[in-house]
Structure 1
Amino acid sequence: MSTTATPATQTAEALLSRPEDPLAFVRTVISEKLAQRSSGESYNPDHAMAYIKQCYAEASASADENGRLCLRPKRDTNATPSGDLASNKRLVLLEKLIQAFRVITMQLDPMEATNSIIKHTCKILNAERATLFKMDPVTQMLHLNVAEGASEISVPFGKGICGVVAATGKLVNIANAYADPNFDSQYDMQTGYHTRSILCVPVRNGQGQVVGVMQALNRSGNEKDTGFTDMDEEVMTILAAQAGIAIQNAQNHKTALQAQKKVTEVLDIVKAMHSDLGINSLIFTVTHRIQRLVGSDRCSLYLLDKVTNELWTLQGEVDIRIPSNQGICGAVAESGKLINLKNAYEDARFNKEYDQKLGYKTSTILALPLHSHKQDVIGVMQLINKTDGIFTPDDEEILTTFLSIAGPILENSPLFLRAKGTGGENELTGRPVSHGKPVTFDPEMNQIQESDGAEDEE
């Protein structure tokens, strides 16, 4: 049962509350009581008396230890219909967000979940377009991961609206894109699109690191050129948090699949090494399949001859021997520890002459020791130029695991006997292979050139 304000009830509450503005107070009380009345409920005179009793009962219950009555809690006298409308809008947005999250969480595929986030961003914010950029920490570029109404695009870190948001980690809300100095209008000119308003927020992973940027373009509402609101910023930030989870899940999913594939490939290589392969075939099988496994431009396998202090490998019909204390491979052979270079030219042990002679550019190098069953260094494996960035800790781990298995196998193979200089025949020609044939050789690149006047052994 609700009550209705009458002069008597208003007087009773006014006496208790002692308002500064009695007329405004009465208006507020009447509005409250009308709002409390159930739909279709008619006025009943008994309500007034019940309300008076309620007022005095509440006042008595709120009296302090000295018997002083506590004033009626102050209500927002500035409440307006527009304020109620804003509250209703927030409720509607909240409902839309809840519905969106239900759809997003049902997506088992991380990429599908990301697509769903972008679509709901456009729908909830009334945006013409939305995009999600994923940051590549190696290249320092933002690459378009998912887009609604946009084509392929990449943005340098720290450049443009998205680049600045990625660099600063701060939200940007722009009502007039062309008035902002960071806005790059080149994309508009190329596509014929006209960007008006932009809302751009950072996307973070579970550790709080910025892993991407989410952007909404051109909010459209009752007024075509209205910009994004404070409420839109809140919604976008919530959606960006979901996008961060989706990006992390996608990366975890990709990493798990890659790890499974690599383990299978390693087992296949080990199985092939146990088969009856000749020397050339063994080297070719190991280096080419490892090159494909890790994703590098080149791969070389050297065995250590401790008698001559040389690293040895075979290329075609030629035995290649280099001093075991030179270059990156020599450093690994001496220390027994892997070397992972993000920039080969910054390491003094790297010989740049071969790059200059051959017109090649060595950027990244990963070189690892090969151990015997007694953990003695018996060789070195070297990979050059990762095809998609730098050699990662995952690359180091998978290759270290492989070489720990391959070492004892190679130690007992004909290949290791050849490394010791015990002789043998080339499987392709049936001829003894020259161990002292004059060649110029790039140990970093696995490239050889026969010297002038070199004679083939018959």
Structure 2
Amino acid sequence: MTIAIGAPPPALLSAEELENREREAVDAYCRKHDIKGLVEDLVSRYLLDRPKDMSPHEYFAQQLRLEMLAGDEAHLVEAAAKVPGYALRQLFEATKRITSEIVPKETIRVIIEESLKVLNCDRISLFIYDKRIEMLVLNASNLEHPIRVRPGQGIAGKVFNSKQTVNIADCYKDARFDQSFDKETGYVTRHLLAFPIVDIGGNCLGVIQAINKNAGGQGFGPADEILLSNLAEHVSVAVHNAEFYRAAIVTSERANALLQMMQSLTHDLGAQSLVLSVATHASTLVRADRCSVFLVDERADELISIANDSGVEIRIPKSQGIAGECASENKLIVIDDAYEDARFNPEYDEKTGYRTHSIIAVPVRKPPTKDKACAVIQMINKQEFDDEIGRFDDEDVQILETYAMFVATQLAQSALLKPANSKEAPNFNARQGIREEEE
């Protein structure tokens, strides 16, 4: 047997030998990266410049950032030198706060709040692209509620499509600027800086826009571009985190709703209680503002709803309206804008002041053949996390169709849906909202 003779393993080294090895490793690292020269250079520059408006550690942070930008374009390096130490400190604190949030609403609020401080401007607008509605959702420091903008619309929309920064010193002299908002509100937009929010994969997630620089009146300079560029990188991380959080919450809510639905269907519910349970769970599954369940009365060729917001029975001809088409043709109907669809009757909205936007109508197909609809589940106005109205997407369709399959057997067996040729087929009592046996 041959024994290799060499340096003893670390476990057999003495404390002194370990300390010597560590010192040698540190010395080698310092020589490789010229740490001594870097420190001497920083101290020498500080003693020569003697900056009055920043402490030594602020000055050193600024100089280290210049070293990092050394490979960038010359004008950016020069601009970075003009970024005061307090702004770098604000940027550091802002990015910590921005990336620490995951709740969508709080994330947006913090981004706007911190960006106002760092950019020292009058307003901040944050446009986040929502794939489900294919729109940019605008949240701004001067808006109570978000609004939607199409990609390509306005300066922010163009920045989103091009992924190019736009810096306008005088908006009223720039043909790209839309003056209509200023004319409506009386606000005067002078300066504008818009930066794309791009993720690590190169996908544009939105746009962050600063309006009206407070200091100097000369608009946003190269130093502001550097600050906003850094902010945009951290905003990208925060937006991703918030989206993952939103998706997790939606998945959890749907799983809980499905579990509760399965439990409720195992109970021996009365006919009317069954319908109300279907409406309640369906609304939770897709976060809809309103839900109606229409039962198909084949004898009268009508749809009857006893689960709706009015609390009273509603009868409509089977051939009428969106629910009627869904039942008659046994097909799914999804509408993004009700007022753009000829099948929608706005009479109810006009009477109540309610505004119907998005609609989904899902047929509950009668087993076992599933060639006829025994009921229709109709949802109105998809509720988004920002409390705005969205549209029903593919995930909503899939979950509602699955849900309709679960409830089909229970509804088909219900006393509310006796076959048309059955002697026991009951009539609906429109006054009480229930069916009574025929004499």
TM beyond 0.5:
yes
Work out which of the residue numbers 184, 189, 200 in structure 1 matches 2:179: 184
TM-aligned CA distance change 1:334 to 1:129, over 3 Å: closer
Deviation for aligned residue 1:242: 2.7
Q: String of CA shifts for 1:328-363, please: whole Å, max 9, x gaps.
A: 55665576552323356777xx656x5579968876
Letter in 1 for 2:390: G
CA distance in 2, matches of 1:260, 1:195: 43
Question: Relative CO higher for 1 or 2, CA cutoff 8 Å, sep ≥ 6?
Answer: 2
Q: String of CA shifts for 1:92-149, please: whole Å, max 9, x gaps.
A: 677765564444333454544444444443444444543323456749564325x3xx
Is this contact kept in 2: 1:117–1:242, CA < 8 A? no
2:239 match: secondary structure: helix
CA distance in 1, matches of 2:297, 2:76: 80
- The answer as to 2:248 corresponding to 1:283 is no
Letter in 1 for 2:398: E
Q: How large is the RMSD of aligned CA atoms in angstroms?
A: 4.9
Letter in 2 for 1:341: I
Letter in 1 for 2:228: M
Q: What are structure 1's unaligned runs of at least 5 residues?
A: 1-34, 40-79, 435-457
Q: Which residue is equivalent to 1:254?
A: 246
Which runs of structure 2 are paired with 1:425-440 in the superposition (5 Å)? 432=436
Is this contact kept in 1: 2:296–2:327, CA < 8 A? no
Is this contact kept in 2: 1:332–1:369, CA < 8 A? yes
2:402 match: secondary structure: helix
CA distance in 2, matches of 1:311, 1:246: 51
TM-score normalized by the length of structure 1: 0.58
Q: Which residue is equivalent to 2:139?
A: 144
Deviation for aligned residue 1:295: 1.4
Work out which of the residue numbers 239, 242, 259 in structure 1 matches 2:234: 242
Is this contact kept in 1: 2:79–2:222, CA < 8 A? no
Q: Which residue is equivalent to 1:172?
A: 166
Is this contact kept in 2: 1:317–1:433, CA < 8 A? no
Q: Which residue is equivalent to 2:408?
A: 407
Is this contact kept in 1: 2:363–2:376, CA < 8 A? yes
Q: Which residue is equivalent to 2:24?
A: none
Percent of residue pairs identical: 26
1:379 match: secondary structure: strand
Q: Which residue is equivalent to 1:267?
A: 259
CA distance in 2, matches of 1:320, 1:155: 37
Q: Which residue is equivalent to 2:425?
A: 423
CA distance in 1, matches of 2:322, 2:110: 48
CA distance in 1, matches of 2:105, 2:426: 55
Letter in 1 for 2:238: A
Moved more, 135-144 or 404-413: 135-144
CA distance in 1, matches of 2:222, 2:361: 53
TM-aligned CA distance change 1:248 to 1:102, over 3 Å: closer
1:226 match: secondary structure: coil
1:132 match: secondary structure: strand
Deviation for aligned residue 1:172: 1.6
Deviation for aligned residue 1:290: 3.0
TM-aligned CA distance change 1:368 to 1:220, over 3 Å: closer
Q: What are structure 2's unaligned runs of at least 5 residues?
A: 1-39, 45-73, 383-388
TM-aligned CA distance change 1:283 to 1:123, over 3 Å: closer
2:396 match: secondary structure: helix
TM-score normalized by the length of structure 2: 0.60
Which runs of structure 2 are paired with 1:100-179 in the superposition (5 Å)? 100-134=94-128, 138=133, 142-144=137-139, 147=141, 150-152=142-144, 154=147, 156-157=149-150, 161-162=155-156, 164-166=158-160, 169-179=163-173
Letter in 2 for 1:301: F
Is this contact kept in 1: 2:337–2:357, CA < 8 A? yes
Q: Which residue is equivalent to 2:11?
A: none
Letter in 2 for 1:300: V
- The answer as to 2:393 corresponding to 1:395 is no
Which runs of structure 2 are paired with 1:31-70 in the superposition (5 Å)? none
Deviation for aligned residue 1:402: 1.6
